[in-house]
Amino acid sequence: MKTDDEMYQSLLSRWEDYKDNKRKNTTRIILVPAAVLGVCFAFWVAGNVNRIVKTGDSDHSIVPAASSENKEKDTVDPETRKLKKAIDPEKATKDDIFYMMLNSVDYYDKVSGRFIHKSYRSEYYDEVVFQTCLSETSSYTDYRIYRNNVNEEKIIAGTAECESENARYCDGESFISVYPKDKTWEYINNEIIPLTKVVHVPDQDRITEKNGIVGYAYEIDPTNVMMSDVCLFPQEYAFGFLHDRSLWEVEQITDYQDRKCYVIKGTASESYGGQMNVSSFEFLVDTATGVLMRYDGYDENGKLRDFMHTDNIRFEEKAEEVTALPANITEEYSSVGDHIPADSYIETDENAIDYDALLEPYRTAFDEFNKSHGTTYGFMSDEQLELHKMDKQQYLKEIAEFYSKMSIAEFYDYLENAYREDIKNSEMMNNNGGISNEKE
């Protein structure tokens, strides 16, 4: 177990590690079971998570993959890139569908639309409106979060008030994130993923097994669209739900949003479905691209627990043009780095910043997350700071600087991912009598 000092020193690096994983800038190998021990979150965990589920066979314990530096021949050249052509749907096998979903970005260049996502693990609805052109490395995402006191119909109708909004504009040269509610913006250029960064993983190398440990190789995502992994590039859902071919069947081919789609119904594995309280599922998969057009996950009583529903999905010449960054937005809004609320200062000779006030929105987020997830996450108390001989002002300063890199929307996403990792770690400790065996 890490010492208190080691645990505290890990705080400031956690967010960057998390962002790196989200960017998927290198091919990833996902191994099960988890190879991590202890709590390494960017906040103090005052108690144990009291809801434990089994580690899934598509869990997200990330270990470094083989370096892509020697694989230049396998990277994508946008100028010579040719889209793959899907097999005749009437002749497609389960393997054909599985690998098309794992390689969906090879089957289209332009796509636009919207999807709404609701996870059993979260009290929030996610709405994503998007346009992207892979060959031009241009994209637009309008990502909104809603509380669960609304419903999908209100979100679609535009009558629901969102909790937060993040609009992202990528033109291949710059990537800017705009927060309309806060009237702030920031550069996120280090998140641009052009096609030239994509290193193809051969189908036969997508799933490996060594010493009883199953590994899943994920390709990086060049769509530059937030949450694209639940729709446009559904690698996790393919690995998680379709890996075991005996658990699902193609029921029929149907028309959905003017697209031919496979209707797939199946039973979720205990390990993967258990993470989402899903016992059975239904997919609608575009037969031409492998894009997931609709997903519904049901519990053992047939109640909808987890879903992703798309709307107005259009490809190639029918796709909407990518929305450009509004003119003068960077002049009209404040830069995130420069934005400090007016009431965040203590009027002293040194004009010291009131870091306590800066952290208040994150305390509220902690409270809301704890209520919905049965957790006890939060900042260190005065008693804990005294116990570990830590200066409170310095602690608040470092934590405030740490969290200022995140919008509230990103913070909720971060908490959700941290919560899932804590579940895995707790399960590992239960299975191993409190001792984790690290796997390389």
**Beta-bridge mates of residue 167:** 142, 178
Tell how far CA 188 is from the center of its chain. 16
Average pLDDT of every residue of the chain: 76
CA triplet 306, 121, 6: central angle to 5 degrees? 145
Give 385's Cβ-side CA count (13 Å radius): 12
More confident: 160 or 382: 160
DSSP string, 161-195: PPSEEEEEEE-SS-EEEEETTTTEEEE-GGG---G
Classify domain 65-318 by CATH number. Answer: 2.50.20
Tell me how many helices (H) and strands (E) the chain has.
12, 18
CB 157 within 8 A of CB 144: no
- Rounded Cα–Cα distance for residues 191 and 171 (Å): 12
User: To the nearest whole percent, how much of the chain has pLDDT over 70?
Assistant: 73
Q: Where is mean pLDDT largest: 16-25, 44-53, 295-304?
A: 295-304
pLDDT at 190 over 80: no
Q: How confident is the model at residue 404 (pLDDT cuts 50, 70, 90)?
A: low
Coil/strand/helix, residue 310: strand
Give 13's Cβ-side CA count (13 Å radius): 6
211-252: pLDDT as tens digits? 777 888 888 899 999 999 999 999 999 999 999 999 999 999
pLDDT the model gives residue 112: 98
- Lowest pLDDT segment from 5-9, 216-220, 280-284: 5-9
**Beta-bridge mates of residue 377:** 45
407-416: pLDDT as tens digits? 676 777 778 7
327-346: pLDDT as tens digits? 888 888 888 764 444 333 33
pLDDT at 276 over 90: no
If DSSP states are collapsed to H, E and C, what string results for 226-295?
A: CCHHHCCCCHHHHHHHHCCHHHEEEEEEEEECCEEEEEEEEECCHHHHHHHCCCEEEEEEECCCCCEEEE
Long-range contacts of 286-289 (CB under 8 A, 24+ apart): 286/259, 286/260, 286/261, 286/313, 287/86, 287/89, 287/92, 287/253, 287/259, 287/260, 287/261, 287/262, 288/86, 288/107, 288/108, 288/259, 288/260, 288/315, 289/86, 289/100, 289/104, 289/107, 289/108, 289/315
pLDDT the model gives residue 415: 81
Q: Which of 62, 138, 112, 118 is nearest to 314 (CA)?
A: 112
**Beta-bridge mates of residue 295:** 283, 308
Coil/strand/helix, residue 152: helix
Q: Which amino acid is at 339?
A: H
What are the residue ranges spanned by the domains of the chain?
4-61+354-431, 65-318
CB 142 within 8 A of CB 128: yes
pLDDT at 324 over 50: yes
| Mean pLDDT, residues 60-69 taken together | 32
User: To the nearest whole percent, how much of the chain has pLDDT over 90?
Assistant: 39
73-117: pLDDT as tens digits? 467 777 778 999 999 999 999 999 999 999 999 999 999 999 999
Residue 45 φ/ψ, nearest 5 degrees: -95, 110
pLDDT the model gives residue 16: 43
pLDDT at 27 over 60: no
Residue 242 φ/ψ, nearest 5 degrees: -110, -5
